[in-house]
Amino acid sequence: MSTAPLFLVEELPKVGAHTLTGAEGRHAATVKRIRPGEVVLLADGRGGLARAAAGEAGKDFLELDVLDAVRLDPPSPRVLLAQALVKGDRGELAVETATEAGVDGVIPWRAARCVAKWEQGARGEKALARWRSTVREAAKQARRPWVPPVSEPVSTAELARRVGEVERTLVLHESADDVLRASDLPASGDVLLVVGPEGGISDAELDTLVAAGARTVRLGPDVLRASTAAAVALGAIGALTGRWAARPDPFAEPSG
C-alpha cells in the first residue's frame, strides 16, 4: 500500500470539515487528482499531522473530512546543515537530498572558496527563495511532518558562533583522521553538520571552526562532492542513531 499524499497547510485544521484551497488545493484536485474517499495527509511543517478523507474536488479546491490530528516529536538528535553555497542547480540538489534524508534545518554558508556569492539584494534573495522552495517540495515528497527552515546566509565568523550553541559540530573534511562513528553523535540536542564548497574549506576557516569546538570527520576513503556529502552523512547519522528507527503509525488505534 502506498503512503498517502501529503499537503502543507499554514495551520493544522481541527477534526471535521475542511477545504484545502490555494496552491495545495489546486495541486490536490488537478495534479494529483484525488478522488472522493481517498485518504490524504495534512502537515503544518512544524510536526503537526492530520489524516483526512477526500470529498468533492473543484478546479482549485478539495473538500476534506479531517478524521484525526496529532503533533509529533522531532527526531533526536536534531541535525542542522551548514551547507556552503554551491553554484547553479547543485546547491538546490544539496538541500533537496539533505531534506529527503531528514535534515532538520539548513544554514547557507558563505565560505571563502564559494563560487556562488549570493550578494545582498534581489539576486541573493532569489537564490535563497529557491533553496527554501526546494526544501519545501522535498519535504512534501518525503511525506515529512517538518519542513526544515532555511536561515539567512552566514559568514564563517557567524558559523563559528553557532558552534557554541549546539551539542556537537562535525565538519566533513578529507584531511580528517577519523571517520564518522556513533561515538561522535550525542543522544539528544543539536548536531551541526558542516559541508564546504567545491573548492574545499580553507585552512583558516577550518582553524576557526575547530577553535570554536568543531571536530573534523570523514565519511570514508573517497572525497564526496559538495552537493552530495550532506545526504550521505545524514544517512550515516540516521543509521548510527535512533533517527531511522521505525516510526509507529501515529493514527493507529491503541492496543488493549
| Domain 78-244: top CATH class | alpha beta
State residue 9's pLDDT score: 96
Identify the band that residue 251 occupies on the pLDDT scale cut at 50, 70 and 90. Answer: confident
Q: Is it the case that residue 1 has pLDDT exceeding 50?
A: no
Distance CA 49, CA 164 (A): 33
Distance CA 49, CA 192 (A): 26
Identify the band that residue 2 occupies on the pLDDT scale cut at 50, 70 and 90. Answer: low
pTM: 0.92
Identify the band that residue 88 occupies on the pLDDT scale cut at 50, 70 and 90. Answer: confident
Q: Which helix (H) or strand (E) holds 46?
A: none
Cβ proximity of 73 and 29 under 8 Å: no
Indicate the pairing of strand 48-57 with strand 62-71: antiparallel
Distance CA 99, CA 102 (A): 5
DSSP one-letter code for 171: E
State residue 254's pLDDT score: 67
Span 109-122, average pLDDT: 88
Identify the band that residue 245 occupies on the pLDDT scale cut at 50, 70 and 90. Answer: confident
The pLDDT tens digits of the residues spanning 91-108 come to: 999 999 999 999 999 999
Cell of 120: 545582498
- Domain residue extents for the chain: 6-71, 78-244
Span 115-137, average pLDDT: 90
| Domain 6-71: top CATH class | mainly beta
Span 27-47, average pLDDT: 95
Cβ proximity of 56 and 14 under 8 Å: no
Distance CA 86, CA 33 (A): 36
Cβ proximity of 38 and 53 under 8 Å: yes
Q: Is the peptide bond before 149 cis (omega within 30 degrees of 0)?
A: no
State residue 30's pLDDT score: 93
Query: Do the two domains 6-71 and 78-244 of this chain adopt the same fold?
Result: no
Question: Taking the CA of residue 134 as centre, how many other CA atoms within 13 Å lie in the half-sphere pointing to its CB?
Answer: 20
Cβ proximity of 35 and 64 under 8 Å: no
Span 23-36, average pLDDT: 94
The pLDDT tens digits of the residues spanning 135-194 come to: 999 999 999 999 999 999 999 999 999 999 999 999 999 989 999 999 999 999 999 999
Residue 171 Ramachandran class (φ > 0 left, ψ -120 to 50 alpha, else beta): beta
